[in-house]
Amino acid sequence: MKTMLVLLLALVSLSATALAQVPANLYECKGNGVAVTYSTTSFTGEPRITFQFRNTTISRSGDDIQTQDTVLGSLVTIVLRTVPDLFTDTLTLIAPAAHLTDRIPEVTFVTRLFKTHTRTSVGGPALVEGLIQQSASQRLVCAATAVNF
């Protein structure tokens, strides 16, 4: 009887822990010459991302941020610049999903930041000769947490 009660209390405790899980919503990353801060939401309810490169800061929010869930995690992309009928340059952060608890309030991980140059044409990619996308990536060390906005 005592063993059953201890087992039951342990199961209730595990269930309470599982219910207390929250998804990470703030990602802070650093790499060689770059820092990235990405929040899936903010005080306004919109996502925000900021890239800091040595002497340049690039920030985007709301619909200027594209996200796509994949087996790698969420691909978080912004457009750096577009020259119509020539190219589009983008930055993409891989942000893996993370569930946080009182026991695990922060997770650290290594991910990649991709800069992609996509050649474009008014007639679509079929009219582009040769390589269409070319990417370079950079290693980032990140911490994911959950904050209340």
Indicate if the pLDDT at residue 16 is higher than 80.
Answer: no
pLDDT of res. 5:
42
Q: Which of 7-21, 31-45, 74-88 has the lowest mean pLDDT?
A: 7-21
Q: Which residues pair with 27 in a beta bridge?
A: 38, 144
What integer pLDDT is reported at residue 14 of this predicted model? Answer: 52
User: How much is the pLDDT for 18?
Assistant: 54
Mean pLDDT of the chain: 90
Q: What is the pLDDT of residue 20?
A: 87
**Looking at residue 86, what is its pLDDT?**
95
Confidence of residue 2 (pLDDT cuts 50, 70, 90): low
Residue 6 has pLDDT above 80, yes or no: no
Domain 22-145 of CATH type 2.40.128: yes
Assigned token pair, 28? 């802070």
Using CA atoms, how far residue 91 sits from 60, 115, 136, 143, in Å, is 11, 5, 10, 19
pLDDT of amino acid 124: 84
Predicted TM-score of the model (pTM):
0.85
Residue 13: predicted pLDDT: 53
Kindly list the domain boundaries of the chain, sorted by start residue: 22-145
